[in-house]
A and B are shown apart, each in its own frame.
Chain A
Amino acid sequence: MANELFHKLGGEAAVNAAVDVFYRRVLSDDRISDFFEDVDMERQAAKQKAFLTMAFGGPVNYSGADMRKGHAHLVARGLNDSHFDAVVENLVASLQELNVPAELIAEVGAVCETTRNDVLNK
């Protein structure tokens, strides 16, 4: 079913369009941009692409363990629910900017929500 969402959104082309809009928003958002300092931008963009592919239900499959490991150092720096919400908010705004229908955006949001506890190492 998730894969269906990926195709409804337009597959890889949609991910490529969304990552540009989304990552620019994230880097410009003072609430969360600090978490993106001191990283290689291109590697980070590749990670954003992997994240969006996952959020869209596409063929990149993170395990919960990967999510926990990948974010542990950020949780140590204070990553919490408010930051998670800010990222989701930026993703929703990006998809709205790209004229994605509201019901698909809601589906993407639901996929993101399933990762909250792993991302925040709860």
Chain B
Amino acid sequence: MTQLHLNEATYQCEAGESVLDALTRQGVAVPSSCRSGVCQTCMMQAAADANVPRAAQNGLKSTLQAQNYFLACVCHPTEDMTVSLPDSSDRLLPATVTAIRPLNDEILCVGLDCPSLQDYRAGQFINLYRDAGFSRSYSLASVPTDSYLRLHVRRLPDGRMSNWIHDQLKIGDSLHISAPVGSCFYLPGAAEQPLLLIGTGSGLAPLMGILRDALNREHSGEIHLYHGSRDRAGLYLVDELRELAEHHPNFHYTPCVSSEPATSGCKSGRAVDVALAEHPDLAGWRVYLCGNPDMVKSARKKAYLAKAAMNDIYADAFVAVAS
């Protein structure tokens, strides 16, 4: 018999019993469905030092496995485990605004110093709190070795949070953020695998983190980044990305504009269409999709139909809220 520690309580797990059965039997509500390790509804997270049985991570994305997520219905612990339901990790961290600079007419880069945040994966996102009941998700554009966290905040027409950030937030202000979450990030290993990064608007933020992380870790495969916007004014970090492409022969940057004709160094068309036209066969590729939810949804399907494996397609997990 082993013990399960959850939310400061302890539950018994009989020999041969799954974590799901043990917790459910003792009155803990754990969402579940197929109870066969297939549907992933009962996903939970184990503490970093827990010994998660390998069978309990079968079928999960490698990024989730690396964060000790497991499927409770097929997890038969061999030793005591500390576990949590994914939603309960939303604790708040104090942060200070250290930089605010415009990236273009509608997007600001916000720098945050958060001493209690020691580790994250480039490409993950945080929830930023204006007050206890009001938060929005923003992807991290920085890598952990940067001196501060960076967010790309686009002003939305009726965006209460984004307008507040654009009009009122000042360097030196204090606020709170959640611990980073999300599984759209670069994982070392398979350094020769080609990477396709497609982003629209401020969806470039996580891709910047993922790109820099991959380059820092000496990813040797080809890396193609397509950043799309309606017009040239919506593109940003163009010079920085061109400079990175000059220094890294395996990195290729293609800015795309959907409502203007192609001009020098810029292709005409939607980023996903330009990317798929240039790379029609994605078998063996790793694909990262960030930005407009409709673009992400359609690009995910197109990438899959172009033979990218489902487990090799990573996408932003959150949807922007307009008001």
Where the two chains meet, the residues of A that have a C-beta atom closer than 8 Å to any C-beta of B are 20, 23-24, 27-28, 41-43, 45-47, 49-50, 53, 59-60
CB distance from A63 to the nearest CB of B (A): 12
Q: A41 contacts B310, CB within 8 Å?
A: yes
23 pairs, CB–CB < 8 Å, chain A vs chain B: A20-B309, A20-B310, A23-B304, A24-B305, A24-B307, A27-B301, A28-B305, A41-B300, A41-B301, A41-B304, A43-B39, A45-B310, A46-B38, A46-B39, A46-B40, A49-B38, A49-B59, A50-B34, A50-B36, A50-B38, A50-B39, A60-B34, A60-B38
- Residues of A within 8 Å of B310, CB to CB, are 20, 41-42, 45
**Residues on the A chain within 8 Å of B40, using CB:** 43, 46
Residues in B whose Cβ lies below 8 Å from that of A46: 38-40, 59
A34 to chain B, nearest CB (A): 13
- Partner-A contacts on B (CB < 8 A): 34, 36, 38-40, 59, 300-301, 304-305, 307, 309-310
Q: Which of B34, B38, B300, B304 contacts A24 (CB 8 A)?
A: B304
User: Of A24, A42, A45, A60, which is within 8 A of B36 by CB?
Assistant: A60
Candidate in A20, A42, A47 with the most chain B CB atoms within 10 angstroms: A42
Enumerate chain B residues within 8 angstroms of A43, measured Cβ to Cβ: 39-40
Which residues does chain B contribute within 8 Å of A45, judged by CB atoms?
Answer: 310
Known contacts A24-B305, A41-B301, A42-B310; A47 and B36 CB within 8 A of each other:
no
- Closest Cβ of chain A to B64, distance in Å, is 11
How many Å lie between the Cα of A49 and that of B60 in the bound state?
13
